[in-house]
Amino acid sequence: RVCAGRAPSLSYQELKDFKKTNVLHIDVRERWEIDRFGKIPASINIPLGELVEALQMDPTEFKEQYNQQMPAKSDPVVFSCLAGTRSKQALAFAKSLGFS
């Protein structure tokens, strides 16, 4: 399941369409889940427990850690997890940090 600020839930097709734009897709599942169930193409894995810290990192440190440009607070970001609960939490965390 995935969450985005404007739409609390996206279908698979909506996600595919959305990812054609300049969007950062953050998968908040645990690393063992990625190993077991597979990585979503063009996503980065930041487990939910690390997300708040990651979104407050220095951009250079974020790039080194996740091999991706750190999103600006106004950049489009999509969160995903297995069932939707953690992605909704991730969205709430990001909003609390000033992401729109």
The predicted-structure confidence for 31-89, as pLDDT tens digits, reads as follows: 999 999 999 888 999 999 999 999 999 999 999 999 999 999 999 888 988 888 899 99
Is residue 88 included in any domain, yes or no? yes
- Domain span holding position 42: 12-97
What was the pLDDT predicted at 40?
Answer: 86
What was the pLDDT predicted at 8?
Answer: 62
Is residue 6 included in any domain, yes or no? no
**Residues identified as active-site:** 81
- The pTM of the full predicted model, rounded to 2 decimals, is 0.85
Total structural domains in the chain? 1
The answer for 59, left when phi > 0, alpha when psi is -120 to 50, beta otherwise, is alpha
Is residue 2 included in any domain, yes or no? no
SS (H, E, C) 18-83: HCCCCCEEEECCCHHHHHHHCCCCCEEECCHHHHHHHCCCCHHHHHHHHCCCCCCCCCCEEEECCC
CATH code of the domain in which 17 resides: 3.40.250.10
The predicted-structure confidence for 1-47, as pLDDT tens digits, reads as follows: 454 555 567 777 777 777 777 788 999 999 999 999 999 888 999 99
Is residue 75 included in any domain, yes or no? yes
Is residue 3 included in any domain, yes or no? no
Averaged pLDDT for residues 94-100: 92
